[in-house]
Amino acid sequence: MTETLMRGIFAPVVTAFHQSREIDSDRSIAHCRWLLDHGCDGLVVFGTTSEANSLSLLERKRLLEAIVGSGISPAQLLVGNGACALPDAVDLATHALQIGCGGVLMLPPFYYKAVSVDGLFAFFAEFIDRVADPRLRVYLYHIPPVAQVGIPLTLIEKLSARYGRLVAGIKDSSGDWENTRRLLTEFTEIQVFPGSEAFLLPALRLGAAGCISGTANVGAETMQQLYQNWQTAKAEEIQSKLNRVREIFQRYPIIGAVKAVLAAANDDDSWRYVRPPLSPLSDPDSKVLMRELEGLEFQLPKF
């Protein structure tokens, strides 16, 4: 893996599907390329918005190989590594290392609830020890609203004390600014990414590495404007625009909403396909969503 730490605006890339619900690699790769040309410094492949936990291990490996094989630099890829089974997590990370990806974004084992910090530490420690590669860079993924198992601050302390720079960063999708603030002020040696652009400006002022947001799939350019101009007089105005767009998306299931925008903007209903148990955004909701975004003069993501 690259020694360069991840920084900037990252989209957890939505996965395109055929009507059969098989992965559409060509459209997925086209979207990756479009994102890198329109505001993204890097990509999270197999994040929450990617429907990663609806994909098999083999599907993830093959799509990652296709993305890198298309000419996209693996150094720009942060590979989602959500797996409750330790051998699966090791397998996915080892594959990402072999390809040369920039890091792994790692969920805690999320099936069993109310587990102890010691239990979580044992999982991550055994994962790192089994991978046994100095190139490994782990970015922890804290998303308790979905996983219901989080990344406590004491866990970060223990992992950092034992493994140092192998624990490179964290994505905080708690939606709790106080938690993000504490990460930024108490863990200055790791890269902290808020999981919502609503926190981007205050986070950058405290030293955040950037932002990893599902809505970056359709709105990364404005996020990049703020990332480049957070110290200027324009920053508050750009943040306000981001907040208005985020508020609209938060009224809908995020994956269905992002795919509905991609479908409408490109006149391509195949973008609406999701895997069960998710459902596409309904036609009435899609129309309301598009009207609301157009009311903000939102720049539609046309390929």
Q: Domain containing 131 — which CATH number?
A: 3.20.20.70
Is residue 38 in some structural domain?
yes
As a whole number, the mean pLDDT across the chain is: 96
The region that residue 199 occupies, defined by phi over 0 for left and psi between -120 and 50 for alpha, beta otherwise, is: alpha
How far is 202 from 223, CA to CA, in rounded Å?
Answer: 13
Is residue 148 in some structural domain?
yes
How far is 91 from 75, CA to CA, in rounded Å?
Answer: 19
Question: Which residue range is the domain that position 75 belongs to?
Answer: 8-219
Whether the pLDDT of residue 303 is over 60: the answer is yes
Is residue 231 in some structural domain?
no
How far is 140 from 98, CA to CA, in rounded Å?
Answer: 20
Q: pLDDT per residue over 166-181, tens digit each?
A: 999 999 999 999 999 9
Q: Domain tally for the chain?
A: 1
What was the pLDDT predicted at 4?
Answer: 61
Is residue 253 in some structural domain?
no
CA distances from 298 to 25, 196, 222, 242, 284 (A): 27, 18, 10, 10, 19
302 confidence band (pLDDT: 50, 70, 90): confident
What was the pLDDT predicted at 3?
Answer: 53
Q: pLDDT per residue over 83-128, tens digit each?
A: 999 999 999 999 999 999 989 999 999 999 999 999 999 999 999 9
Is residue 294 in some structural domain?
no
Is residue 174 in some structural domain?
yes
What was the pLDDT predicted at 2?
Answer: 40
